[in-house]
Structure 1
């Protein structure tokens, strides 16, 4: 007698499937970003061998950053040659770290800062109020490129990219039509494409578990998961699909004396920054959040991601799953997802198909509450 696993079948949406789960075991120990390609001897080139200046090398040493990751080995030589680039690499691979490395050693020469970091909305306001001029702009980096391709940013991008001599477009997920969109603002034919082998793939070193639950069973399952987790188990991210759910779940965790922080888009930018800084420092090890925390944040201390609400798209799942097993993490970590609605099951089917096409996973562990059909 076998056991039916929760899978991409019509039965997985049936009420008797509740309680089923399937689990993807890691197929390798380390993050793909840290692995040197076969053609490179040892661990690949050092930052010095890639030609970084002594000041940057000293800054990297102070940050205890040793060898370049795969995306850095690709990007640094191309960018040093002055090439504009489409730079695509998996989450947690060191893309934003490129910016962090520079920021950690930069000094602002008179008459003012040479580097500006900002969101599109703030940048638009700064230009409108003439706090900022673009005449001396040389380099432009667009991070989280899939989000910046929104039509509301069209006019802003056109204005800025017209002044930049070198443009770098960075992302962990590149949507179809990205090149066509960029072509409206700049000469994409002059761009070099830099892409890692693990782009658009689930992290092969991270355990991932999908649990089929009724809505009313999600909270008890989460509480049990948190209470059974060892104190040495690292930080936890709990993803919800709305700010109201973040707040509601936070009140419940308060009632159960589970110390946590909350992060959602209805908070001010200053409040969000303070909350995440406290989480990073380890003051509190549980963060309840929306997808606001799924991109562009250093979550190397996180060892467990819980999708309390299952994400809406495959890209959202990739970004959430990428919060664990990052470069600099002490352990690969795990992702646990609560699958509740019929549309959640539909997305799980897509994820299963996606896995079969892109990864060589260790056989699935599974459990069910029915006999094999």
Structure 2
């Protein structure tokens, strides 16, 4: 991506230089055991073949043996590293290895596996993967995402007897289904909180995320015995993607729009998809109107849209119908964006954690090119974050403020509960 050479970065680098991105790691293809050698049943191997998945990634090689043994775990790996399969495969293996008697047909849905996800979009994405894996094994999968009347919840939970073996749901929908007694959890064998900052339950629990803030272990310890957890963490956790260029453009607010338009108009048609991040829904809408005026075809995604609209928009973007998506951080976590080759931070993110998730939208497993991140820096408080990013890249260290999940954090640090609030957890755990 060409950036005007006369500008300088907040860290003092010439504008044509990127913040020092690390060298790409050696290719993993052909290294380590295969999925079959990890002991997965033929039905799951058939599901992987349907998904055209080859050999396991690093986090999958770590997680599959540990989770097959029934250990609760904190699963931490860089974004785009294949965490979804890392937890789905071994947990589905456990269901296949220990079949149970069918639940009563007249009673509430009683899944044996539950995956809690923060958004409808992510629930749909993970649900599609789970369905492909479960089809050869004969396991029923259902999604529960709310957004409608009580009858809609009941319809989503319907499945051929004995009901869904695996349920994927968002917090609000799960809470409502539990309240109305459409859902029962007495048969639950395992639960996953994907993109989670908190868990509590006595069943097998897997906490999955690309970033883990300081204080997480202390917060978890209030509700569960963290000492019994096995920690599965890759070496690249909390580090910038080593093969992705990070570029910063220091400019005044009024110059952001011309810079963006120049980037989009000069980008070749074969340059892959583009994600443009804004910090608010109003900016997404305003920027969309401007792109319309300049005849730049794009889609918009922000949290004030209806659930149905959001699902259709992201599905259209993933299919490649439109190659530019203007969005809020709704699109920064977990969603598969392997076609994206450029991320533009039109608004610089508020935290290093948000920056890491946005940067993780490029250079993912399955991407055809490493991609780049271009960030517009306009405020003096953004400059401090940029310097920390550049320093972490030069020193080849993780970004500050996101300590190792094994490391104790200062007393009194509180972790924001982004995924589930306490009332839902109390309902799920029956405490």
Give how far 1:317 is off: 0.3
Distance across 1 between alignment mates of 2:242 and 2:330: 24
Tell whether the 8 Å contact from 1:27 to 1:204 is kept in structure 2 after alignment. Answer: no
Distance across 1 between alignment mates of 2:27 and 2:266: 44
Tell whether the 8 Å contact from 1:308 to 1:338 is kept in structure 2 after alignment. Answer: yes
In the alignment, does 2:35 pair up with 1:47? yes
Tell whether the 8 Å contact from 2:123 to 2:168 is kept in structure 1 after alignment. Answer: no
TM-score, with structure 2 as normaliser: 0.66
Alignment of 1:357-372 (within 5 A): none
Tell whether the 8 Å contact from 1:86 to 1:168 is kept in structure 2 after alignment. Answer: yes
Tell whether the 8 Å contact from 1:33 to 1:69 is kept in structure 2 after alignment. Answer: no
Distance across 2 between alignment mates of 1:351 and 1:189: 32
Q: Which residue of the partner structure matches residue 124 of structure 2?
A: 100
- Please say which of residues 119-128 and 312-321 is displaced more in the overlay: 119-128
Tell whether the 8 Å contact from 1:237 to 1:305 is kept in structure 2 after alignment. Answer: yes
Distance across 1 between alignment mates of 2:378 and 2:23: 37
User: What SS does the aligned partner of 2:198 have?
Assistant: helix
Give how far 1:184 is off: 2.1
Cα gap change, 1:81/1:259 in structure 2, threshold over 3 Å: closer, same or farther? Answer: same
Cα gap change, 1:259/1:352 in structure 2, threshold over 3 Å: closer, same or farther? Answer: same
User: What SS does the aligned partner of 2:239 have?
Assistant: coil
Aligned match for 1:84, one of 67, 72, 75: 72
Tell whether the 8 Å contact from 2:196 to 2:209 is kept in structure 1 after alignment. Answer: yes
Cα gap change, 1:347/1:253 in structure 2, threshold over 3 Å: closer, same or farther? Answer: same
Give how far 1:101 is off: 11
User: What SS does the aligned partner of 1:203 have?
Assistant: coil
Unaligned 5+ segments in structure 1 are: 1-25, 151-164, 354-372
- Please say which of residues 297-306 and 341-350 is displaced more in the overlay: 341-350
Distance across 2 between alignment mates of 1:30 and 1:340: 17
User: What SS does the aligned partner of 1:253 have?
Assistant: helix
Q: Which residue of the partner structure matches residue 67 of structure 1?
A: 55
Tell whether the 8 Å contact from 2:299 to 2:317 is kept in structure 1 after alignment. Answer: yes
Please list the CA deviations of residues 164-183 of structure 1 after superposition, one character each: whole Å capped at 9, or x if unmatched: x2110111111111112112
Q: Which residue of the partner structure matches residue 119 of structure 1?
A: 170
Distance across 1 between alignment mates of 2:309 and 2:249: 33
Tell whether the 8 Å contact from 1:56 to 1:102 is kept in structure 2 after alignment. Answer: no
Tell whether the 8 Å contact from 1:29 to 1:332 is kept in structure 2 after alignment. Answer: no
Cα gap change, 1:71/1:114 in structure 2, threshold over 3 Å: closer, same or farther? Answer: same
Tell whether the 8 Å contact from 1:33 to 1:70 is kept in structure 2 after alignment. Answer: no
Distance across 1 between alignment mates of 2:29 and 2:273: 35
Q: Which residue of the partner structure matches residue 368 of structure 1?
A: none
Distance across 2 between alignment mates of 1:35 and 1:136: 47
Give how far 1:268 is off: 1.5
Cα gap change, 1:266/1:260 in structure 2, threshold over 3 Å: closer, same or farther? Answer: same
| Count of aligned pairs between the two proteins | 312
Give how far 1:122 is off: 1.8
Cα gap change, 1:352/1:226 in structure 2, threshold over 3 Å: closer, same or farther? Answer: same
Q: Greater relative contact order (Cα 8 A, min sep 6): structure 1 or 2?
A: 1
User: What SS does the aligned partner of 1:193 have?
Assistant: strand
User: What SS does the aligned partner of 2:60 have?
Assistant: helix
TM-score, with structure 1 as normaliser: 0.76
Tell whether the 8 Å contact from 1:47 to 1:57 is kept in structure 2 after alignment. Answer: yes
- Please say which of residues 129-138 and 330-339 is displaced more in the overlay: 129-138
Cα gap change, 1:42/1:263 in structure 2, threshold over 3 Å: closer, same or farther? Answer: closer
Tell whether the 8 Å contact from 2:76 to 2:234 is kept in structure 1 after alignment. Answer: yes
Unaligned 5+ segments in structure 2 are: 1-13, 85-121, 128-156, 392-430
